[in-house]
């Protein structure tokens, strides 16, 4: 049996203690433990790192730290320091590193820390120079020069447009210019440009002012007034293009012939001494500092006067309605009649029913009470407006007559006496009675009788022949129902 020397026992004892006691006890060699909480902040070809000291310094105080920069798992650069922070220089901008830190004491270098988060050294690009912004139509053309060169190339730019403190547009570009659209003409904006490299964006340039502008849009046009020889047009510039309107150019054409051209700062113009009823086309162009805008061309218009009174107005009464008819006025004012306005009111100033945009010369007015007379006025309208003098008529709606009562036929020698009682009416007078006979009396089979008649003798009949008689009452509202009777004339 061999004895183990005392020195060997001591070594074994130290190994056992280290194995059982963890980091709170010195390592077998007495070196420090691993530093903790390594952080890294990138800079220009450098990284500033900091950490916490190991919980275990080993058998002697920590003398220094070794910081290693790893790229793709391999040590790319290392540097030493005595404090718990260090700026590691000589790195390559744009490359990604992780950092590990090891503590060193008199016994040697301890284990490395856990790696830091990945970090990339970089140069912050400068601000672009010589920024300009040229206004356009709801847009701005922005151009600039690149910032001073660094060892990291610029990969792109961000153009930012603000209205006050509000970002309106943020647009990227890889060129030294950009067109920013979607702006509002006449609104003042501030434009800045910032450069970016593969890692980081730089500061914005000094802001430049720009106000988008364009030529004006087409004005909104309407007819202001007209007479038989004058056309007056008015207009409004709805889109100034963002620049004040300095004037207007107005043109009047007859077909392809220019009748008159004028420049004005007003928004109304009269063309005089025109030919009544002749169609003319009006064009107006708004002008600002940017130039002439889009033309507004108004539909053809004719100089004319308002029309006269519609002719031959008639009202045919019917059951609960009136059938109105009339003719075009003799004086149309020089322009075609476009429509008619019909006013119907109860006699004595009752409520009226108005029918606008009547283009025909016939109208059936329904829903009227029978027996109530109505006043009807019809106005004509042309391009110049509504005529002042209407055609006027009064009428009373009523229904067709009822059935004549007690219709009898009393025969005699070659004759028959027809008798009846008056047909009832609802609001309108009888026009006539109509009597028919079958077979005919001679060449006549229909007799038209006075509305006051209540009997009629028909002579010249053939004894022994049976005759069929009908009677109805008519008025302007229509024909009433028919009553029928028969009789056979006989000699005494």
The model's pLDDT over 188-202, given as tens digits with 9 standing for 90+, comes to 999 999 999 988 999
Q: What is the dihedral of CA 158, 159, 160, 161, to 10 degrees?
A: -170
**pLDDT value of position 39:** 96
- Run of H or E including 230: none
**pLDDT value of position 158:** 97
CA–CA separation, 333 and 336 (whole Å): 8
Token pair for residue 472? 């109805």
The residue extents of the domains of the chain are: 22-112, 129-210, 220-301, 311-395, 405-487
> Nearest Cα to 395, choosing from 422, 365, 423?
365
The number of CA neighbours under 13 Å toward the Cβ of 279 is: 7
Confidence (pTM): 0.58
Q: What percent of the chain has pLDDT over 90?
A: 82
CATH number for the segment(s) 405-487: 2.60.40.10
**pLDDT value of position 295:** 96
DSSP tag of 22: G
DSSP tag of 94: T
CA–CA separation, 287 and 293 (whole Å): 6
Spatial neighbors of 235 by CB under 8 A, at least 6 apart, are 219, 220, 221, 222, 248, 267, 268, 284, 296
3-class secondary structure per residue, 422-484: CCCCCCCCCCEEEEEEEEEECCEEEEEECCCCCEEEEECCCCCCCEEEEEEEEECCEECCCEE
pLDDT digits (tens, 9 = 90+) for 221-237: 999 999 999 999 999 99
DSSP tag of 16: H
CATH number for the segment(s) 311-395: 2.60.40.10
Q: What's the average model confidence in pLDDT over 206-215?
A: 96
**pLDDT value of position 16:** 36
Token pair for residue 396? 């009373």
Task: Mark 270-302 as b/e (b = at least 16 C-beta within 10 Å).
Answer: ebeebeebbebbbbbbbbbebeebeebebeebb
Residue 69, pLDDT above cutoff 90: yes
Q: What's the average model confidence in pLDDT over 168-196?
A: 96
Residue 167, pLDDT above cutoff 70: yes
Give the 3-state secondary structure of residue 204: strand
**Position with higher pLDDT, 426 vs 260:** 260
> Could you tell me which CATH class the domain 129-210 is placed in?
mainly beta
CATH number for the segment(s) 22-112: 2.60.40.10
CATH architecture of residue range(s) 220-301: Sandwich (2.60)
Residue 260, pLDDT above cutoff 80: yes
pLDDT digits (tens, 9 = 90+) for 114-158: 999 999 998 899 999 999 999 999 999 999 999 998 888 999 999
Task: Mark 190-204 as b/e (b = at least 16 C-beta within 10 Å).
Answer: bbbbbbbbebeebeb
Looking up tokens 């203690």 gives 17
Residue 17, pLDDT above cutoff 80: no
Mean pLDDT of the chain, nearest integer: 91
> Nearest Cα to 235, choosing from 185, 293, 275?
293
For residues 436 and 452, the answer to whether their CB atoms sit within 8 Å is no
Asked if domains 22-112 and 405-487 share a fold, the reply is yes
pLDDT digits (tens, 9 = 90+) for 382-438: 999 999 999 999 999 998 999 999 999 999 999 999 999 999 988 778 999 999 999
3-class secondary structure per residue, 24-36: HCCCCCCCCCCCE
For residues 188 and 169, the answer to whether their CB atoms sit within 8 Å is no
**pLDDT value of position 134:** 96
Task: Mark 459-484 as b/e (b = at least 16 C-beta within 10 Å).
Answer: eebeeeeebebbbbbbbbbbebeebe
**Position with higher pLDDT, 22 vs 453:** 453
Q: How confident is the model at residue 28 (pLDDT cuts 50, 70, 90)?
A: low
* Alpha-carbon separation of residue 136 from 53, 192, 212 (angstroms): 62, 17, 5
**pLDDT value of position 25:** 47
Token pair for residue 491? 């000699």
């Amino acid at each position: 049996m061999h004895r183990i020397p005392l020195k060997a026992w001591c070594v074994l004892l130290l190994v056992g203690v280290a194995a059982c006691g963890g980091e709170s006890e010195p390592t077998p060699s007495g070196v420090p433990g691993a530093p903790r909480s390594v952080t890294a902040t990138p800079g220009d070809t450098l990284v500033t790192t900091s950490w916490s000291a190991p919980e275990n310094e080993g058998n002697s105080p920590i003398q220094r730290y070794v910081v290693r920069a790893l790229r793709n798992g391999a040590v790319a650069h290392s540097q030493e320091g005595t404090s718990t922070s260090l700026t590691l220089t000589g790195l390559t901008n744009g490359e990604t590193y992780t950092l590990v830190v090891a503590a060193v004491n008199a016994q040697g270098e301890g284990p490395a820390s856990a790696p830091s988060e990945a970090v990339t050294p970089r140069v912050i690009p400068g601000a672009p120079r010589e920024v300009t912004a040229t206004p356009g139509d709801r847009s701005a053309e922005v151009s600039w020069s690149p910032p001073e060169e660094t060892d990291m190339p610029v990969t792109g730019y961000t153009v930012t447009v603000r209205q006050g403190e509000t970002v309106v547009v943020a647009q990227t570009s890889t060129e030294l210019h950009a067109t920013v659209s979607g702006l509002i003409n006449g609104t003042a904006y501030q434009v800045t440009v910032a450069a970016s490299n593969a890692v980081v964006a730089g500061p914005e340039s000094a802001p430049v002012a720009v106000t988008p502008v364009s030529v004006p849009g087409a004005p909104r046009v309407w007819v202001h007034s007209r007479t038989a020889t004058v056309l007056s047009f008015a207009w409004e510039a709805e889109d100034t293009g963002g620049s004040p309107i300095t004037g207007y150019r107005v043109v009047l054409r007859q077909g392809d012939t220019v009748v008159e051209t004028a420049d004005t700062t007003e928004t109304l113009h009269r063309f005089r001494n025109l030919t009544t009823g002749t169609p003319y086309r009006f064009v107006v162009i708004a002008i600002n500092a940017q130039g002439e805008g889009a033309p507004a061309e108004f539909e053809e218009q004719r100089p004319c006067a308002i029309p006269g009174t519609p002719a031959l107005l008639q009202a045919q009464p019917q059951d609960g309605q009136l059938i109105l008819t009339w003719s075009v006025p003799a004086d149309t004012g020089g322009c075609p009649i476009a429509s008619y306005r019909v006013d119907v009111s109860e006699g004595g100033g009752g409520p009226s029913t108005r029918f606008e945009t009547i283009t025909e010369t016939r109208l059936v007015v329904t829903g009227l009470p029978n027996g109530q007379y109505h006043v009807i006025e019809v106005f004509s309208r042309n391009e110049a407006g509504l005529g002042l003098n209407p055609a006027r008529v009064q009428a009373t709606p009523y229904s067709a007559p009822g059935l004549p009562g007690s219709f009898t036929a009393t025969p005699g020698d070659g004759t028959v006496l027809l008798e009846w009682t008056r047909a009832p009416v609802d609001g309108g007078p009888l026009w006539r009675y109509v009597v028919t006979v079958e077979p005919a009396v001679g060449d006549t089979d229909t007799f038209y009788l006075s509305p006051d008649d209540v009997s009629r003798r028909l002579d010249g009949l053939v004894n022994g022949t049976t005759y069929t008689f009908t009677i109805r009452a008519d008025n302007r509202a229509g024909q009433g129902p028919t009553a029928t009777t028969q009789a056979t004339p006989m000699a005494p």
